[in-house]
Structure 1
Amino acid sequence: MLSISAPAFGIKLGGTITSSEDKSPVVEANILVEELDLNARADLEGRYQIEIDKAGKYRLQITHVSFETKVLDIELGERDTVINVTLSSRTYIYDEVVVTGTRTPYLLKDVPVTTEVIRTDDAIKTGASTVDQALKSAVGINVDNNFSGSGASLRGLDPTRVLILIDGEKMVGRVRGAIDLAQISLANVEKIEVVKGVGSTLYGSDAIGGVVNIITRKPQAQLRLNSAGEYGTFNSYMQNLELESKRGNWGLQMGARFDRTDGFDLDKTTPHTNGMERIKRFNLDGKVTRRLSKAFDLTVNGNFFRERKDWIESEYIDPITFTFDDQENNFRYSAGSKIAFQPNPRTLVDVNVYGTYYDHLWEKFTASGALSDKSRTEDYLGEASVNATHSYKDGHVVTMGGDFVAQSLKSEEIEGGTQEVSSGDVYMQYEWKPVENLTMLPGIRLEEHSTFGEHVNASINVMYNPHPRFRIRGFHGGGFRAPSIKELYFRFDHSAAGYIVIGGGEDLNPEKSRNSSLSLEYSYEGIGLHRITYFYNDINDMIEFNLTGFSPTYWRGIYKYQNVFKAYTRGIEWQSELKINHHVDFSVSYTWLTAKNRETGHWLLNRPEHALKLLSSIHFDEVGLVVTAWGSWYSGKLWVPLGEQNDFETDVWAPTRRDINLSVSKRVWDNLEVFARGENLTDDVEIEFGYWPGRTFHAGLRWNSM
Structure 2
Amino acid sequence: EETTAVAEHSEPKYVETVTTYDAPEPTAADFDEMSFELAPIVVTASRMEESILKAKADMSVVGREEIEQMHMDNVEEVLRTVPGVQFLDYGSNGLNANVSGIRINGSKDVVILVDGVRVNDFKGAGSSGYMFAALMNNMDNIERVEVMRGSAATMYGSGAKGGVINIITRRPEGAKTVIDIAKGSFGKEAYKFNTQAAKDKVSYNIYHDRTISGTSKDGSGKEWPGQSNTKSSGAKFEYKFNDANKLTLNYETIGSNFSGTDLVYGGHYVGMYDSNSVTLKHDWQINDQWSNSLMYRATKEKSSWDKPGGEDTDISEPITSNLEYKLYSDNFKYQTDRYTMVGGIEYSKGKDNTNHKETSNTSLFLQGDWELIPHVTLSGGIRHDRPDSYECHNSISYKLGWDITEKDTLYAGRSDYYILPSLTQLYDHKYGNADLRASEGRTTSIGYNHEFTPDNYMMLSWFETKSGVGMTMNSTTDKDDPNYGQYQNSIGGISRGWNAQYNARLSDAVTVKLGWAHLFYDEKDSFTQGYAPKDKATFGVYYDKDKFSAAFDGFYFIRDKRGMKEGVKGWPSDKYGVYNLALNYTADKQTKFYVKVDNIFNKLWAEHTDVIWSGGADSWYAMPGRSFVVGMQYTF
TM-score range relative to shorter protein: 0.7 to 0.9
- 1:483-537 deviation digits (Å, cap 9, x = unpaired): 1122222222xxxxxxxx3x2222x221111101111111144312111111111
- 1:333-378 deviation digits (Å, cap 9, x = unpaired): 000111111121111100001101111122332399xx97312101
- What secondary structure does 2:317 align onto? strand
Quickly say closer, same or farther: Cα 1:567–1:215, change in 2 above 3 A: same
The answer on 1:151 being equivalent to 2:101 is yes
Identity %: 17
In 2, Cα distance between the equivalents of 1:574 and 1:391?
31
- 1:9-56 deviation digits (Å, cap 9, x = unpaired): xxxxx962699xxxxxxxxxxxxxxxxxxxxxxxxxxxxxxxxxxxxx
The answer on 1:701 being equivalent to 2:632 is yes
Report the counterpart of residue 505 of structure 1 in structure 2.
434
Report the counterpart of residue 418 of structure 2 in structure 1.
480
- 1:300-326 deviation digits (Å, cap 9, x = unpaired): 11101000111124798xxxxxx6432
Pairs aligned (count): 581
In 1, Cα distance between the equivalents of 2:264 and 2:168?
43
Within the candidate set 211, 229, 253, 1:259 is matched to 211
Within the candidate set 556, 559, 565, 1:633 is matched to 556
The equivalences for 1:348-387 within 5 A come to 348-366=291-309, 373-387=317-331
The answer on 1:585 being equivalent to 2:546 is no
Query: What one-letter code is carried by the residue in structure 2 that aligns with 1:218?
Result: R
The answer on 1:116 being equivalent to 2:63 is no
The answer on 1:133 being equivalent to 2:72 is no
Specify the structure having the higher radius of gyration (Cα): 1
Check the 8 A contact 2:183/2:189 in 1, yes or no: yes
The equivalences for 1:609-628 within 5 A come to 609-621=534-546, 624-628=547-551
The equivalences for 1:461-610 within 5 A come to 461-492=399-430, 501=431, 503-506=432-435, 508-547=436-475, 550=478, 554=480, 558-597=484-523, 603=528, 605-610=530-535
Following superposition, the deviation at residue 652 of structure 1 comes to 4.4
Check the 8 A contact 1:364/1:372 in 2, yes or no: no
Following superposition, the deviation at residue 548 of structure 1 comes to 5.8
Check the 8 A contact 2:126/2:424 in 1, yes or no: no
The answer on 1:195 being equivalent to 2:145 is no
Quickly say closer, same or farther: Cα 1:545–1:677, change in 2 above 3 A: same
Query: What one-letter code is carried by the residue in structure 1 that aligns with 2:246?
Result: D
Check the 8 A contact 2:219/2:602 in 1, yes or no: no
Quickly say closer, same or farther: Cα 1:481–1:226, change in 2 above 3 A: same
Which range is displaced more, 163-172 or 234-243? 163-172
In 1, Cα distance between the equivalents of 2:196 and 2:264?
50
Within the candidate set 238, 241, 249, 1:289 is matched to 238
Following superposition, the deviation at residue 663 of structure 1 comes to 1.3
Check the 8 A contact 2:70/2:550 in 1, yes or no: no
Quickly say closer, same or farther: Cα 1:545–1:276, change in 2 above 3 A: farther
In 1, Cα distance between the equivalents of 2:322 and 2:505?
47
Q: Name the Cα RMSD after superposition.
A: 3.1
Query: What one-letter code is carried by the residue in structure 2 that aligns with 1:478?
Result: D
In 1, Cα distance between the equivalents of 2:414 and 2:219?
48
Following superposition, the deviation at residue 408 of structure 1 comes to 0.9
Report the counterpart of residue 197 of structure 2 in structure 1.
245
Check the 8 A contact 2:228/2:257 in 1, yes or no: yes
In 1, Cα distance between the equivalents of 2:41 and 2:522?
36
Quickly say closer, same or farther: Cα 1:403–1:389, change in 2 above 3 A: same
Report the counterpart of residue 592 of structure 2 in structure 1.
673
In 2, Cα distance between the equivalents of 1:136 and 1:119?
14
Quickly say closer, same or farther: Cα 1:434–1:299, change in 2 above 3 A: same
The answer on 1:431 being equivalent to 2:369 is yes
Following superposition, the deviation at residue 685 of structure 1 comes to 0.8
Report the counterpart of residue 260 of structure 2 in structure 1.
311
Report the counterpart of residue 336 of structure 1 in structure 2.
279
Following superposition, the deviation at residue 217 of structure 1 comes to 1.2
Question: So what's the TM-score if we normalise by structure 1?
Answer: 0.77
Query: What one-letter code is carried by the residue in structure 1 that aligns with 2:574?
Result: P
Report the counterpart of residue 299 of structure 1 in structure 2.
248
Following superposition, the deviation at residue 565 of structure 1 comes to 4.2
The answer on 1:389 being equivalent to 2:333 is yes
Query: What one-letter code is carried by the residue in structure 2 that aligns with 1:233?
Result: S
Following superposition, the deviation at residue 282 of structure 1 comes to 0.7
Quickly say closer, same or farther: Cα 1:268–1:220, change in 2 above 3 A: closer
Query: What one-letter code is carried by the residue in structure 2 that aligns with 1:485?
Result: L
- What secondary structure does 1:132 align onto? helix
Query: What one-letter code is carried by the residue in structure 1 that aligns with 2:533?
Result: P
In 1, Cα distance between the equivalents of 2:429 and 2:10?
70
Query: What one-letter code is carried by the residue in structure 2 that aligns with 1:400?
Result: G
Report the counterpart of residue 47 of structure 2 in structure 1.
103
Quickly say closer, same or farther: Cα 1:596–1:94, change in 2 above 3 A: farther
Check the 8 A contact 1:228/1:702 in 2, yes or no: yes
Quickly say closer, same or farther: Cα 1:275–1:655, change in 2 above 3 A: farther
